[in-house]
Amino acid sequence: MAQVMRAAVLPEPGKPLIIKEVAVPEPGPTQMLIKVLYASVNHRDVWIQKGLYPGIRRGVILGSDCVGIVEKVGSEVDSAWVGKKVIVNPGLEWGPSREVQSPSFHILGNPTDGTFAEYVVVPAENVYQPPLHLSDEEAAVLPLAGVTAYRALFYRGRPQQGNTILITGIGGGVALMALKMATTITDKIIVTSSSLQKIDRALELGATDGYLYTHDDWHKKIIQKWGGVDVVIDGASGPNIPQIIDILNPGGRLVIYGQTAGKIPQLSTAKVFWRHLNILGSTMGSPSDFEEMLELWNAHKLKPVIDRLYSLDEINEAFEWMDNAKQFGKIIIKI
């Protein structure tokens, strides 16, 4: 095999990625070397590229998701894996507790070199068979957004069969993964967006109802039509949180996995304690979350929502597309 490979390298935070030749990495005893077929872009990649993330390593190869072929395994890894098609859990060293990650937890693609390259080295324990009903392109988009959405929705949100679930900011990778997975447990899925077009597409994909959160009375309309909601999956935080608390049913769970809309404004907690509400933070996911996520996609033959495909050479265009929030679904990088 080759000694060098093409990779998308971040020269320094804030600068565009550079495609250049670097040495093919060597797997350690418990690792695998994977020949990447497809990768996909996450918001995390864009934030790192822009310098909006802690602990950025200059010269890092970004990218958390991939589907690939095992090229070579370390001395302690079963050689039967060689030649197999695999998907990778990008969460490294989560640790023993499902509840929280260990201090050494990190994600493939910074500071470790990631998947926007012809080859990537990963721990053997992070490698799984991709769902058989998915194409390589489709499977490549699952890992980070899929595990984040699975944990937020099922491990943290704990919806009951038939619950009313609200997913805010539909169009993003995690929100659409949550939508797909929510269809396995309820037929009452409400979405919000700032775009009618995105709401219409979500309705085609299994959402039951949708609202423009840019309209002042969106939450009142939800109360009028649905009474209230049981579980909310939100990656925005920001000014809409008080309205979300207003529409939560008693005992309801608001799971927050991001802050794209900024801080929460001044907040009364009276409804939070009277209604025994739960405001729950969630990020990424544990190995168990990843495994259960794969099982769910297999069991229900779920298909992810794909926005578009770029080549590795077009990776900066792909980042720009995501940064402008124009995408609806996941962006694939063909390596």
Helices 43-50 and 315-323 pack at an angle, to 10 degrees, of: 100
The DSSP bridge pattern shows strands 229-234 and 164-167 to be parallel
Query: Can you say whether the dihedral through the CA atoms of 145, 325, 231, 160 is positive or negative?
Result: negative
What interhelical angle do 143-150 and 287-300 show, nearest 10? 100
Smallest gap from Cβ 303 to a second copy, in A, equals 27
Give yes or no for a contact between 165 and 233, defined as CB atoms under 8 angstroms apart: yes
Interacting residues with a second copy between 29 and 48 (CB under 8 A): none
User: Counting Cβ atoms within 10 Å, is residue 217 exposed (0-12), middle (13-18) or buried (19+)?
Assistant: exposed
What distance in Å separates the CA atoms of residue 330 and residue 257, rounded to the nearest whole number? 17
Query: Which is closer to a second copy, CB of 264 or CB of 309?
Result: 264
Which residue from 8, 60, 279, 335 is in contact with a second copy, where contact means CB under 8 A? 279
Scan residues 244-263 and list those touching a second copy (CB under 8 A).
Answer: 250-251, 256-259, 263
Structural contact between residues 39 and 109, judged by C-beta atoms closer than 8 angstroms? no
Q: Give whole-number Cα distances, 94 to 79, 103, 265, 284, in Å.
A: 25, 8, 32, 10
Nearer to a second copy, 29 or 250 (CB): 250
269 binds a second copy (CB under 8 A): yes
User: How near is the Cβ of 298 to a second copy at its closest, in Å?
Assistant: 26
Answer for which of 22, 69, 223, 272 binds a second copy (CB under 8 A) is 272
| Residue 268 binds to a second copy (criterion: CB under 8 A) | yes
Q: Pairing state of beta strands 188-193 and 209-212? A: parallel
**One character per residue 212-251, x = contact with a second copy (rule: CB under 8 A):** -------------------------x------------xx
The least CB distance from residue 255 to a second copy, in Å, is: 9
Is 160 a residue that touches a second copy (CB under 8 A)? no
Q: What are phi and psi of 92, to 5 degrees?
A: -105, 135
Q: Judged by CB under 8 A, how many residues of this single chain contact a second copy?
A: 33
Nearer to a second copy by Cβ, of 31 and 148: the residue is 148
For residue 104, state whether it binds a second copy (rule: CB under 8 A).
no
Q: From CA 76, how far away is CA 144, in angstroms rounded?
A: 26
Q: Does 51 bind a second copy (CB under 8 A)?
A: no
Q: Is 135 in the site for a second copy (CB under 8 A)?
A: no
Contact flag: residue 97 with a second copy (CB under 8 A): yes
Residues of the shown chain interacting with a second copy in the complex, contacts defined by CB under 8 A: 97, 99-101, 156, 237, 250-251, 256-259, 263-283
